[in-house]
Chains A and B, each alone.
With several copies, the nearest count.
Chain A
Amino acid sequence: MIDKRVGSLADAVAGIEDGATVLVGGFGASGVPVELVHALLDQGTTDLTVVTNNAGSGETDVAALLRERRVRKIVCSYPRSAGSVWFEERWRAGEVELELVPQGTLSERMRAAAAGLGGFFTPTGADTRLAEGKEVRVIDGRRHVFEEPLPGDVALVRAARADRWGNLVYRTAARNFGPTMAAAAALTVVQVDEFVELGELDPEAIVTPGIFVDRVVRVGTA
């Protein structure tokens, strides 16, 4: 009997260890697993490497992790926004390491990890500062950079609905990094707005099949 549903946010993040690499879904404020990140915060987990597109904003989710000094390193594409105050403060003080990765490369590196690949060559970033120290190869007349897979120990993802097998569907553009991160981590934890019965999700329209998902928790919506 497969039942990936857990009863509480605390159960959802239980066992995530200090030093873990955590993939955190979301783009801006869309699709961010806010409650899961706060549960991780409440649990006291620290020394994290956080992989996420932005570096948090305001006082919630990744920004709160930064504020509370739980983050050793951020891997992201766009850590600068109107409200990214805590990232900027920690970064300026040299308290958090930043690995800046072009957004498509960030996503593709996670997919490579999900797919069991050893890395890939991409034209993105060739001839730029972000290729420094990386292998460059001319393929078909064009310069390419070698990029390594980027796996997570944990992925925290937000989706709309899940069944007990962990099959997921998302809502509009909140999908963003979710499907890739869910597939790229050893432990994938998902918060959803709603549980549905097995068989209720259209098999043609399931976006993340349950094979990628370990735990799902329902979070009350306002």
Chain B
Amino acid sequence: MSGPLAVRDVAGRIARDIPDGAYVNLGIGLPTLVADCVGEDKEVVYHSENGILGMGPAPAPGEEDPELINAGKQPVTLLPGGAFFHHTDAFLMMRGGHVDVTVLGAFQVSETGDLANWATDDATHPPAVGGAMDLAVGAKRVLVLTTHTTRSGEPKLLPRCTYPLTAAGVVDRVYTDLAVLDVTDSGFLVREMVAGLTREDLQGRTAAQLAFADDVAVLEPGQRE
């Protein structure tokens, strides 16, 4: 087995790092895949910026409540123990360090943990930021789920972001289709790599300088736990 992981496999890898009992906010889009991969042996409370704790899975077709949606505006459900609250309280939780883990997508991540995930240089569409900045500055642990490079092969892990920042110095760990990397005081530290990839290959697809842990593990295709 070798080569880049499918995004669902990366989500599965992230799921392994979500602790039992954690309060978790998953960013819009691909990060929501993580919830599908967290094993049933763990009880995780999902937070949504629009005032929900204890979000459950998508409702059965025909059971949707148009008011009960997640941050991505998709219908969700509420688990027993869940609660509703208003937006200002939802962001108090996010900004105030009450969310244990957030998983966010990224256009770029810098070696100092800067995150760029809300805007590119595209001026033809209006800018939109949503709750990304609040989550990025506030969550206790910020995990990034992204491809290692853009579709056209441009590196996303950089010495400095070139796109507008979401927040500076906030990313703790990056999970790509090729590797798991911690953001440390001395830059990116590779913890895991997919099988069949050399360190030189990985560095070649990364604009930032990489360091490698003593015990780099094989990044296994994710599985439902």
Contacts and interface: CB of A to CB of B under 8 A. Distances in A.
A122 B126 contact: no
Interface in A112-142: 113-117, 122-130
Given A29-B66, A183-B92, A173 B52 contact: yes
A78 B128 contact: yes
A173 B135 CA distance: 19
A51 to B, nearest CB: 12
Contacts of B138: 116, 123-124
Given A30-B50, A77-B131, A100-B127, A2 B43 contact: yes
B95 A124 contact: yes
B145 to A, nearest CB: 20
B179 interface: no
B67 A102 contact: no
Given A130-B133, A172-B84, A100 B54 contact: no
B61 interface: no
Contacts of B132: 102
A165 B81 contact: yes
Contact of B165 (A127, A198, A212): A127
Interface in B152-207: 164-168
Contacts of A199: 80-81
Given A28-B73, A30-B67, A114 B81 contact: no
A103 interface: yes
Interface stretch (A8-16, A37-45, A200-208): A200-208
Contacts of A165: 45, 54, 81
Contacts of B21: 1-2
B86 A177 contact: yes
Given A28-B73, A210-B45, A211-B45, A204 B84 contact: yes
A28 B69 contact: yes
Interface in A10-53: 27-31, 53
B173 to A, nearest CB: 20
A92 B23 CA distance: 40
B218 interface: no
B133 A125 contact: yes
A27 B50 contact: yes
B95 A104 contact: yes
A2 B41 CA distance: 11
B39 interface: no
Contacts of B98: 183, 211-212
B88 A171 contact: no
Interface in B50-88: 50-54, 65-69, 73, 78, 80-88
A29 B69 CA distance: 9
B167 A127 contact: yes
Interface in A164-186: 164-165, 167, 170-180, 183
Contacts of B48: 173
Contact of A171 (B67, B69, B93, B130): B67
Interface string A132-167: 000000000001000000000000000000011101
A56 interface: no
Given A104-B94, A173-B52, A180-B88, 10 more contacts: A1-B21, A2-B43, A103-B131, A104-B95, A115-B96, A116-B95, A116-B137, A128-B165, A167-B83, A198-B80
Closest 3 CB pairs of A and B: A199-B80, A104-B91, A104-B134
Interface of B: 20-21, 23, 43, 45, 47-54, 65-69, 73, 78, 80-88, 91-99, 114, 119, 124-134, 137-138, 164-168
Interface of A: 1-2, 27-31, 53, 55, 77-81, 84, 87-88, 91-92, 98, 100-105, 107-108, 110-111, 113-117, 122-130, 143, 163-165, 167, 170-180, 183, 198-199, 201, 203-204, 206-207, 209-212
13 contacts: A27-B73, A27-B87, A88-B125, A102-B134, A105-B133, A108-B91, A122-B95, A128-B164, A129-B119, A165-B54, A167-B81, A203-B78, A211-B98
